[in-house]
């Protein structure tokens, strides 16, 4: 099958790799090089890097200009496949390929339409999430879907869950394309009564708070990322909490808003129990495990709180 692929972040790379191995990828469309890490150097998108590895033709665009539309038409693809491209597609693009335009979405639609389905599934304590192969429509993730695959959520960070869903999505996309091509795919319209919206994560949402429960704070840590880190103030200094877990009942306890160090382990008191620090990154310093951080503290007890 002749395919045009559109995608940008690491989440999209497994889909591109599977397509390149099984089909003819006529064109890869991705967002332009950008500053993607610390420093001022422009870096290619993960999808562009993968496309160049496969010696695939690449076009960079952040909007559908007449020039981009001309290139898409010239590709003469049977289907357009999208995974986190990051650009609104006009009707002309959605109907350009004979088999239409399908998207790999990182949720079990209609749950978690929107920008941050993976983080929202973690924050809400979902038992499972997954990927959906859907048609792209006019609304945000409103199209019908023809295939879904699921995986468990608990115990996985946002990065870990993203990587797992990316692989799951790539496999599902390639396994579903034959049914889309021969018309045997069964499309299911989304039940609007079951829709939940995955709004972009605000940094304030992931600030740890002693007034919240230990499990809620743990989920904030698990859902965090470089763009929206889980932060708090501990021993009077702002830090990013990299890894943490709700402590069990047998662990040492601390009052809400206080921390205690026992045997090199650090426990932060929450509204209903304690959160155990596993690794931490004080501002201006490298990441370190909780034991190393505790070794640098003068006192074994102190206060912690929400970052203002």
Q: Which residues are annotated as a binding site for (6S)-5,6,7,8-tetrahydrofolate?
A: 107-110
Task: Pick out the residues of the known binding site.
Answer: 107-110
CB atoms within 10 A of CB 61: 18
> Of the candidates 237, 229, 231, which has an alpha carbon nearest to the alpha carbon of residue 302?
237
Q: What DSSP string describes the chain?
A: -EEEEEE-SGGGHHHHHHHHHHSEEEEEEEPPPB--SSSS--B--HHHHHHHHTT--EEE-SS--HHHHHHHHHH--SEEEEES--SPPPHHHHTTSTT-EEEEESS-TTSSEES-HHHHHHHTT-SEEEEEEEE--SSTT-S-EEEEEEEE-TT--HHHHHHHHHHHHHHHHHHHHHHHHHT-PPPB---GGG--EEPPPPGGGG---TTS-HHHHHHHHHT--SSS--EEEETTEEEEEEEEEEPPTTS----TTEEEEETTEEEEEETTEEEEEEEEEETTS--EEHHHHHHT-S-SEEEEE---
Task: Please say whether the beta carbons of 153 and 128 come within 8 A.
Answer: yes
């Amino acid at each position: 099958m002749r395919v045009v692929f559109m995608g940008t972040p690491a989440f999209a790379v497994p889909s591109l790799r599977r397509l390149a191995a099984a089909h003819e990828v006529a064109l890869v469309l991705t967002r332009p090089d950008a500053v993607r890490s610390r420093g001022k150097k422009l870096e290619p998108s993960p999808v562009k890097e993968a496309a160049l590895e496969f010696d695939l033709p690449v076009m960079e665009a952040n909007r559908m200009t007449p020039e981009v539309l001309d290139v898409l038409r010239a590709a003469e693809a049977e289907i357009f496949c999208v995974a986190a491209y990051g650009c609104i597609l006009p009707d002309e693009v959605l109907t350009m390929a004979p088999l239409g335009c399908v998207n790999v979405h990182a949720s079990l639609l209609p749950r978690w339409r929107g920008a941050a389905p993976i983080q929202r599934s973690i924050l809400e304590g979902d038992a499972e999430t997954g990927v959906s192969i859907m048609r792209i429509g006019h609304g945000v993730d409103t199209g019908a879907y023809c295939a879904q695959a699921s995986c468990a959520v608990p115990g996985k960070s946002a990065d870990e869950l993203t990587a797992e869903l990316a692989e799951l999505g790539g496999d599902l996309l390639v396994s579903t394309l034959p049914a889309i091509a021969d018309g045997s795919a069964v499309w299911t319209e989304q039940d609007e009564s079951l829709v939940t919206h995955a709004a972009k994560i605000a940094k304030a949402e992931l600030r740890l708070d002693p007034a919240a429960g230990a499990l809620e704070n743990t989920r904030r840590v698990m859902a965090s990322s470089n763009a929206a880190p889980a932060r708090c103030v501990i021993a009077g200094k702002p830090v990013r909490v990299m890894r943490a877990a709700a402590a069990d009942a047998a662990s040492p306890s601390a009052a809400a808003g206080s921390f205690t160090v026992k045997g090199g382990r650090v426990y932060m008191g929450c509204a209903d129990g304690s959160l155990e620090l596993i690794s931490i990154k004080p501002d201006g310093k490298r990441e370190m495990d909780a034991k190393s951080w505790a070794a640098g503290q003068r006192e074994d007890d102190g206060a912690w709180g929400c970052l203002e």
